[in-house]
Structure 1
């Protein structure tokens, strides 16, 4: 019995700890007021490593009520996939949106679908969207935490980027 309780406790704490840097938008939650100037530090050309390859994100400065980005994962000298999207100013808050594309630029989501993440909060050096967190480490380093769901499993993945 003690072993079973120990295993259950370990599973519970490892699941909880796995998502310590991201938050879920609360059901019936209210989006906070925010503007693009509060997240403009995300702009820049960023490179890092993840999924056994090189990751690259390029973020534009705020313009036209949005910040646009492109992402690619390169492994063994070949592009694995791309993402295009941005952070948009909508009314008095922000929304993070993206679309995935294979290395042949064929979309993963349906034509008119995007992955949308509502703003949860901005605290100190972190911007929390629904299951996405941007963290400013310094003017030349950021972390992006993403909750990835695949085959019934949920995992928080950390992308560490250095400014190019």
Structure 2
């Protein structure tokens, strides 16, 4: 276990090996490009997800201080204890950026030698993305940088591990913090989906009610929701199938359904429960289901 994590660097969500490469590798004579921490402001914040073996994981990045952004990664056990942590420094150095990190056990004993660390040299900085040698940090969606980040690391074998985080905040609540086992997580996330569906149904019912005098339109709105449910089942069923060999498959499938349901409720609200002028919406704007 320790061997691949030493190569991997920042660890986040459960990893999957992808055919398309997210990482880049620089030749020995590569000259790192000019870059500053100001180009990395999208990384600042608290990021949460599911890590090794389906156990919770979290990572935080502070704003720059003295030419350095400090990050902390925490991997928990299935029982909620600390499994290991990482201390990360993203630094301005000689006009470019370099990422350095050290691993620590739960008792704060280090993995590396006292003065040892892992160092990743910069290859390129792009919109909402930074490519280091064998390591990538990027926004999951550059159009919505606050929603989540992706970290990818290249292994000695040539394969690649990709990790995904969601943002922790008022619009992205941490779900099921007290769930300690896979069964607990599945049960809790199923409850979140039930709440998301309950709200979707309430917003849908209101939309149909407001268009009761236009029965054909009301029928189309209802039919569109039935089509959404069929699509959700197919899409999130595919996600479940993709993760079927991992204990996290239930949470991944449910997370997909929750996200799609929240987006569907927002669509109903935007299309049928708001007005073009300053008239207040019929129902409050729906937020992410906690």
TM-score (norm. length: structure 1) = 0.82
Displacement after TM superposition at 1:147 (Å): 2.6
* Residue matched to 1:61: 63
Q: Choose which of 140, 149, 162 in structure 1 pairs with 2:147.
A: 140
**SS in structure 1 opposite 2:28?**
coil
User: CA–CA distance in 1 between the matches of 2:68 and 2:32?
Assistant: 17
User: CA–CA distance in 2 between the matches of 1:114 and 1:57?
Assistant: 18
User: CA–CA distance in 2 between the matches of 1:79 and 1:26?
Assistant: 37
2:40–2:128 contact (8 Å) kept in structure 1: no
User: CA–CA distance in 2 between the matches of 1:25 and 1:162?
Assistant: 29
**SS in structure 2 opposite 1:133?**
strand
* Residue matched to 2:166: 162
RCO greater where, 1 or 2, for CA within 8 Å and sep 6 or more? Answer: 1
Displacement after TM superposition at 1:154 (Å): 4.8
- Cα distance, 1:148–1:107 mapped onto 2, change above 3 Å: farther
Tell whether 2:86 aligns with 1:83. Answer: yes
Count of aligned pairs? 146
User: CA–CA distance in 2 between the matches of 1:19 and 1:100?
Assistant: 28
For structure 2, which runs of at least 5 residues remain unmatched after alignment? 1-17, 169-290
1:141–1:163 contact (8 Å) kept in structure 2: yes
User: CA–CA distance in 1 between the matches of 2:62 and 2:99?
Assistant: 14
- Cα distance, 1:100–1:75 mapped onto 2, change above 3 Å: same
User: CA–CA distance in 1 between the matches of 2:155 and 2:73?
Assistant: 16
Q: Choose which of 76, 81, 86 in structure 2 pairs with 1:74.
A: 76
1:101-120 to structure 2, matched below 5 A, reads: 101-120=104-123
**SS in structure 2 opposite 1:41?**
helix
Q: Which structure shows the higher strand fraction?
A: 1
* Residue matched to 1:5: none
User: CA–CA distance in 2 between the matches of 1:130 and 1:66?
Assistant: 19
**SS in structure 1 opposite 2:57?**
strand
User: CA–CA distance in 2 between the matches of 1:48 and 1:99?
Assistant: 21
Displacement after TM superposition at 1:37 (Å): 0.3
Tell whether 2:123 aligns with 1:99. Answer: no
Displacement after TM superposition at 1:148 (Å): 4.1
- Cα distance, 1:54–1:154 mapped onto 2, change above 3 Å: farther
User: CA–CA distance in 2 between the matches of 1:19 and 1:83?
Assistant: 27
**SS in structure 2 opposite 1:34?**
coil
